[in-house]
Amino acid sequence: MNETFSLLAPRRQGEAHRTARAAYPFRCCVVCGLQVPTCLTVAHLDHAAGNNDPDNLAYLCHTHHWMYDAGLYPLEAIKLLRAHWQQTEGKPTHAARMKDAGAKAAATRKRRTAARKAWETRRQQAET
Ligand SMILES: [Zn+2]
């Protein structure tokens, strides 16, 4: 661990929050995307409360902060997610899911038409 930021260093939480707010303008839990301000905490990724370097900070909800501190998420994953949320700003894109939407809809219409025609044919044959 870096000697400058020992676990016994003063917490300076106000500075941590100011730094995080400036570095990560889109504020949400980087794991689940929760955006409720009162539910967000600033996590020190190296667990040294005095290290308020922007790269050492991430917004996490209470649950995911606890899970990160318990070692359930790798540091690299948190940093990747943090960068991704800043990039997407929480705006969903359906481009990948909608890529072949028109072709899929056409195929569905074709199958439905064939099924309807087959049902009609069977019904007419049953009557005769
Ligand atoms: Zn969360």
* Residue 93 alpha carbon to ligand 1 centre in Å: 21
What residues pack around ion ligand 1 (CB closer than 5 A)?
A: 29, 31-32, 61, 64
pLDDT at 1 over 50: no
Give the span between the Cα atoms of 75 and 65, in whole angstroms: 12
* Residue 70 alpha carbon to ligand 1 centre in Å: 14
Going from the C-alpha of 17 to that of each of 1, 23, 65, 96, the distances in angstroms are: 22, 10, 15, 35
* Residue 103 alpha carbon to ligand 1 centre in Å: 37
* Residue 24 alpha carbon to ligand 1 centre in Å: 16
67 class by beta-carbon count within 10 Å (0-12 exposed, 13-18 middle, 19+ buried): middle
Going from the C-alpha of 11 to that of each of 27, 37, 51, 71, 77, the distances in angstroms are: 21, 20, 8, 21, 24
pLDDT > 90: what percent of the chain? 76
Residue type, 28: C
pLDDT at 119 over 70: yes
For the segment 45-55, the average pLDDT, to the nearest whole number, is 94
DSSP codes joined into one string, 40-52: EEEEETTS-TT--
At 64-114, the pLDDT tens digits run 999 999 999 999 999 999 999 999 999 988 888 888 888 999 999 999 999
Q: Chain-wide mean pLDDT for the chain?
A: 92
For the segment 17-29, the average pLDDT, to the nearest whole number, is 96
- Report pTM: 0.71
Give the span between the Cα atoms of 15 and 86, in whole angstroms: 20
